[in-house]
Chain A
Amino acid sequence: MEIFLQLFTDYTIRTVAMGAAVLGIVSGSLGTFAMLRRQSLLGDAMSHAALPGVVLAFMLTGSKAPVVLILGAAVAGVIGTLFMLTITSFTRIKEDSALGIILSVFFGFGLMLLTFLQRNPGANQAGLNSFLFGQAATLLVRDVITMAIFGGGALLLLALFWKEFKLLSFDRDFGASLGYPMVMLDVLLTSLLVIAIVIGLQAVGVVLMSAMIVAPAAAARQWTDRLGIMVVLSAVFGAVAGVSGSLISSLERGLSTGPVVVLVISTIVFISLLFATRRGVVWNWIRRQRQRRILRLESVLNHMFKLAEQHDDWSHPHSTAVIQTMSYGRGVAPTLQALVGRGWVTQVDKDLWALTAEGAKEAQRFARRTEVR
């Protein structure tokens, strides 16, 4: 708890939290589009492919300035994406296999470069390791500023091209028939996704960054049916996961941020899958149970009405056993009690039930509703 208080007092912690919030918001918003366009795996491949870019950028320049490393990551990510497109268009290899190839080849190459650097003392490579699993505590003010500039630019473009990106994501062919350059828009949106990924690499790491692209969007989708709300919700989830993940990981020395962030966002996804008001598993179950109860209520009422029709007096009582024979499944006693509760049935004797005037009316209403038109 103390750490959250320090959020307002401690300069370093505030820096880390702000950086995490920026990356959460940007990856959450752009992740929405990645998920809707079924590009979640592409995000994973791009983040892994970024590793050799980061290491090579450092090797070539000797600098660990965030702009340099982010640019290196972005270039490698883009090259990886281009390789993937080349593989899918010129060979018979399908997209998922191509993504797997790119992911493992680039990541393996990156790991090799990293090991090579570590075996060469003298080179001040400390800190590059944090790109593997993320180390939010290493974020400096200049890192956060770089992240905010790139991320803010990406969000600005997202807002500007909102209508066009929606068209691209929902109905690409229709958009093309209207004259919009869909290929260009696709390249632009994918580039924004690259930005969202690379600005999060230092804090969350290449291995788990894709969780920040996919998970917030998946959770947000559970709560809403509107694209705009989904993007905002996803950004909020991303920010919550980013900030709490980096703060918790800063508590312990050497605790990587990536895994903690993933734990937090997974919890959010889990809760959303279960409890979301529209699509949540729990709510659906409750809704189904309620519908089933109403259905049972109406069918027993209907059966009693049919029985009553056989007599001159519709309030003629019947025993539980008789009513039970007309219904299948569980005992009708609880349903009869519920009908009594609604005032549609009266309990004449210990084991005898009769329709009330109100119950007869309801049964007729029900019959009319279900009549075949």
Chain B
Amino acid sequence: MVTTAEQALEVTDLTVAYQEKPVLWDIDLDVPSGILMAIVGPNGAGKTTLIKSILGLIKPAAGHVLIHGKSYRENRHLVGYVPQRGSVDWDFPTSVLDVVLMGRYGRLGWFKRPSRQDRELALASLDKVGMADYAERQISQLSGGQQQRTFLARALVQDAQLYFMDEPFQGVDATTERAIITLLQDLRARGKTVIAVHHDLQTVPEYFDWVTLLNVRRIASGVVQDVFTEDNLRQAYGGRIAFLHNGTNGEDGTTAVVTQGPNSVQVAPAIVPRDATA
């Protein structure tokens, strides 16, 4: 692939602080294009803040960001964004198609209304996420999974090169999760890059090529086999992670169990291959 030579995203020395407290400290990232990358880390690690500051929604204290070699301002049209599902009011008086059409607003520019062609693109992308029958549906009637698909359809209609997704799998059922990952893999096959905040450590090796472990600082970033290690996870999650070693089926695997508080139960088990070739 020709595109892999190109860097989709370069982040240099990114620091973000709310008042005095740093939320992100001196982050460097180099993400090649044509991959699926997960951003993982405990609550409050700054995952959402990282995405928002790359997109210019939060003003960083220092650092700069390049999207495909240029500033975000210059290459904004190459970027698609899926915010957290819970960040909007789903009782807003509008239809599914209307929400998806918002993905075209960036290309439309000021004052222009969506054209028939925009509507066709929006319907086509609703079809891709399996929501074609819901186009005229009021958005408050959607289930969590359908809301997530609607947001994905809106991002698809942006026709971007680099997608940022904030917890695309949050609160969706297994069927929707499969549908979404198929969609992401389809994007990758077309040379696009997807960077997603992810919570289920167990599925990281299965779903993603690259992973960034984050906890205010960048713990590690790279190919999953290289950096998704017990050591790095321990650094990212601190004392809140427990590893269960097991060797079933002759595979040398490790299960990581993340607990978010002293009394909370296991949140996410993960099979972490210690062998790079596993």
Instruction: Indicate, yes or no, whether A interacts with B.
Output: yes
Which A residues are within 8 Å of any B CB, using their own CB? 36, 160-164, 166-167, 169-171, 173-180, 221, 224-227, 230
The complex places the Cα of A36 from the Cα of B89 at a distance, in Å, of 9
The complex places the Cα of A175 from the Cα of B93 at a distance, in Å, of 18
How far apart are A329's CB and chain B's nearest CB, in angstroms?
Answer: 30
Query: CB < 8 Å: which of B52, B83, B102, B106 contacts A179?
Result: B106
| Cβ A171 vs Cβ B76 within 8 A | no
| Cβ A173 vs Cβ B52 within 8 A | yes
Other CB < 8 Å A-B pairs besides A170-B88, A170-B92, A227-B94, 7 of them? Answer: A169-B92, A171-B88, A173-B81, A174-B102, A175-B102, A178-B105, A226-B95
Given contacts A163-B105, A173-B57, contact A36 B93 (CB under 8 A): yes
Residues of the B chain whose Cβ atoms lie less than 8 Å from the Cβ of A171: 83, 87-88, 102
21 A-B residue pairings within 8 Å (CB atoms): A36-B93, A163-B105, A163-B111, A163-B113, A163-B114, A164-B105, A164-B110, A170-B88, A170-B94, A171-B87, A171-B88, A171-B102, A173-B52, A175-B105, A176-B55, A176-B56, A176-B57, A177-B55, A177-B79, A178-B76, A225-B93
Closest to A225 in B: B138
Q: CB-defined interface of B106-122 with A at 8 Å, one 1/0 digit per residue?
A: 10101111100000000
| Cβ A170 vs Cβ B57 within 8 A | no
Ranked nearest first, the 7 interchain pairs of A and B with the lowest CB-CB distance are: A178-B106, A225-B138, A177-B81, A177-B55, A171-B88, A227-B93, A179-B76
How far apart are B37's CB and chain A's nearest CB, in angstroms?
Answer: 18
Residues of the B chain whose Cβ atoms lie less than 8 Å from the Cβ of A36: 89, 92-93
Q: Which parts of B101-159 form the interface with A (CB within 8 Å)?
A: 102, 105-106, 108, 110-114, 138, 140, 154
The complex places the Cα of A226 from the Cα of B136 at a distance, in Å, of 10
| Cβ A174 vs Cβ B93 within 8 A | no
Residues of the A chain whose Cβ atoms lie less than 8 Å from the Cβ of B112: 163
Residues of the A chain whose Cβ atoms lie less than 8 Å from the Cβ of B102: 166-167, 170-171, 174-175
How far apart are A172's CB and chain B's nearest CB, in angstroms?
Answer: 9
Given contacts A170-B102, A174-B102, A178-B76, contact A160 B93 (CB under 8 A): no
| Cβ A173 vs Cβ B93 within 8 A | no
Residues of the B chain whose Cβ atoms lie less than 8 Å from the Cβ of A179: 73, 76, 106
Tell me the dominant secondary structure on chain A's binding face: helix
The complex places the Cα of A177 from the Cα of B108 at a distance, in Å, of 14
Interface: B99 (CB within 8 A): yes
Given contacts A160-B111, A163-B105, A225-B138, contact A174 B89 (CB under 8 A): no
Number of A-B contacts (CB under 8 A): 70
How far apart are A206's CB and chain B's nearest CB, in angstroms?
Answer: 29
| Cβ B108 vs Cβ A163 within 8 A | yes
Given contacts A163-B105, A225-B138, contact A174 B92 (CB under 8 A): no
| Cβ A173 vs Cβ B83 within 8 A | yes
How far apart are B55's CB and chain A's nearest CB, in angstroms?
Answer: 5
| Cβ B113 vs Cβ A177 within 8 A | no
Given contacts A224-B93, A225-B138, A226-B94, contact A167 B87 (CB under 8 A): no
Residues of the A chain whose Cβ atoms lie less than 8 Å from the Cβ of B83: 171, 173-174
How far apart are A273's CB and chain B's nearest CB, in angstroms?
Answer: 16
Residues of the B chain whose Cβ atoms lie less than 8 Å from the Cβ of A169: 92
The complex places the Cα of A152 from the Cα of B112 at a distance, in Å, of 21
Q: Which parts of B60-84 form the interface with A (CB within 8 Å)?
A: 73, 76, 79, 81, 83
How far apart are A45's CB and chain B's nearest CB, in angstroms?
Answer: 22
| Cβ A226 vs Cβ B93 within 8 A | yes
